[in-house]
Every structure is written in structure tokens, then in C-alpha cells.
Amino acid sequence: MRAFTEYLWFNTKKKREFVNITPELEKALAAAKIQEGMVLASAMHITAGVYINDAEDGLIADIEEWLETLAPFRADYRHHRTGETNGDAHLKNLLVGHQVLVPVTKGRLDLGPWQQVYYAEFDGQRRKRLVIKVMGE
């Protein structure tokens, strides 16, 4: 088995953004020259996430609204007693998850017809990274 590692860096313009990273995973897979295996994409920060879903603007807005309903920004999170103001971002991370694993078949990401991989930033406007790990033969 071979492994290949690459890092993506983000510094989003907004506090909350959703970035399609599927092309970057495809580039890492091509560089790794793996035909059968897996690609892991994992956010390396606890206020960001990674998920797989449709690349449709209305759905992305619905996801953002859903997350804000379940984990709204508010001033009274206990976490804010530490001096931070991003308690909601930590909770949004728990809802979305911090990583995905995508199968590789015949040298290609084996995603469904509408599936795309997204980096979800919940506390942006500062430098963060994501690790891509390609493993296989």
C-alpha cells in the first residue's frame, strides 16, 4: 500500500463559507497515482468540517440555515467564558463532522452522480488547513 499527503490552506473572506474541494481531491489523487484505495479529507480545526452532498446553491443555503437553527450564534455559550466567541462553530462542527472518506476505483473518486466534497468553515477569516491523505495501490 502507498500513501500520499497534501495540505490545503484556507483563509475565508466570511465567517461562514462552504468551499467545494472535489477538484483538489482529484488533483491529489492524480499526484498519488493510486488506482484502488481511499482518499481521506479531514479538517484540522475544530471549528470547520468536511461533508459530501450536492453542489447546488439552494441546498447549500438550506444547510447553512439548518445549522444555524440547530447551533445558533449566541452570546451565552459557556465556551465564551474562555474569551472565545465561537461556541456555535464548535457545535456546527459536531453536526457536520470533520472528515470524509471517498473510495477510489480505477484511479478516480468513486462518488455518486451528484456528490461533491465540501470544506465547511464556521469560524473563518483566519488561516486554517485540511489534510488530504490518499491511500491504496
Model pTM? 0.95
pLDDT in tens, 49-94: 999 999 999 999 999 999 999 999 999 999 999 999 999 999 999 9
Can you tell me the mean pLDDT for 32-46? 98
Q: Which domain holds residue 83?
A: 2-136
pLDDT of residue 45: 96
Strands (DSSP E) found in the chain = 2-10, 17-20, 37-43, 48-54, 99-105, 108-109, 115-121, 128-136
pLDDT in tens, 22-31: 999 999 999 9
For 87, the enclosing helix (H) or strand (E) is: helix 87-96
Distance of CA 94 to the CA centre of its chain: 12
Can you tell me the mean pLDDT for 25-54? 98
Please state the domain count of the chain: 1
Tell me the CATH number at 38. Answer: 2.60.120.460
